[in-house]
Amino acid sequence: LLAARRLLTKLNLADKYQGQTEVNGEMYVVEELEEGPRPFTAYLDIGLGRATTGARLFSVMKGAVDGGLEIPHNEKRFAGYDPEAKKLDVETLRSRIFGEHVGEYIESLGENDPELLKRQFGAYCKAGLTTADSVPDMYEAAHAAIRKNPVHTKKVRTKPAAGTVSKYYKARLTYKERKNKVNQKIAAFNA
């Protein structure tokens, strides 16, 4: 959803192609306007990914289509599709989109194994997402925020002050410091 909305905003198509504003898990296809530009068309290339029903790859594609991109597809690979009945269960797909299964798992871990919950979902616990209803609410808020303003804002990166030691790189030693270090090693070896 985020990538689709950012792309359409960059191409000045965001107002013309809103996508599916209410995420309900139903099949959605972008309709071409009578007058004006055609929708941005993209083709899904899964590469080496496996095309199994319910794969995350197809959830990403569903988000892009809901965001307003035209991607040729059908509903056979979405989570909740029943190949025997040849029908998509929209409630299952909607629950997967909003992470209800994750919320239920978090709640069961909280009851059964709180230590594993802290280890596996520590960031969720700090954010107060420990009930089954809190995770879908978080995703709904994220969808609303993406629709409101999808534009990426660059972070201002500042260089460390001169003389401070980086936590990734050791400060480079001067010639005198390197000589002193070698002499100390020789003295320690001879002692």
pLDDT at 160 > cutoff 90? no
pLDDT at 152 > cutoff 80? yes
Percent of the chain with pLDDT over 70: 99
Listed in sequence order, the DSSP H helices in the chain are: 2-10, 56-67, 90-97, 100-112, 114-120, 122-126, 134-148, 175-190
Per-residue confidence (pLDDT) for residue 50, from 0 to 100: 87
Q: Which residue has the higher pLDDT, 10 or 132?
A: 10
Q: Please give the average per-residue pLDDT across 27-37, as a whole number.
A: 90
pLDDT at 90 > cutoff 80? yes
List the single range of 16-20, 46-50, 58-62, 163-167 with lowest mean pLDDT. Answer: 163-167
CA–CA separation, 180 and 27 (whole Å): 71
Per-residue confidence (pLDDT) for residue 181, from 0 to 100: 96
CA angle 99, 47, 63 (to 5 degrees): 30
Per-residue confidence (pLDDT) for residue 11, from 0 to 100: 93
CA–CA separation, 22 and 4 (whole Å): 15
Mean pLDDT, all residues of the chain = 90
Residue 8 is encoded by which pair of tokens? 């359409």
Strand pairing category for 81-82 and 87-88: antiparallel
Percent of the chain with pLDDT over 90: 58
Per-residue confidence (pLDDT) for residue 23, from 0 to 100: 86
Per-residue confidence (pLDDT) for residue 129, from 0 to 100: 86
Q: Which residues pair with 88 in a beta bridge?
A: 81
**CA max distance for the chain:** 89
Q: How confident is the model at residue 172 (pLDDT cuts 50, 70, 90)?
A: confident
Enter the pTM of the model.
0.74
Per-residue confidence (pLDDT) for residue 167, from 0 to 100: 74
CA–CA separation, 183 and 63 (whole Å): 63
Q: Which residue has the higher pLDDT, 163 or 24?
A: 24
Per-residue confidence (pLDDT) for residue 42, from 0 to 100: 94
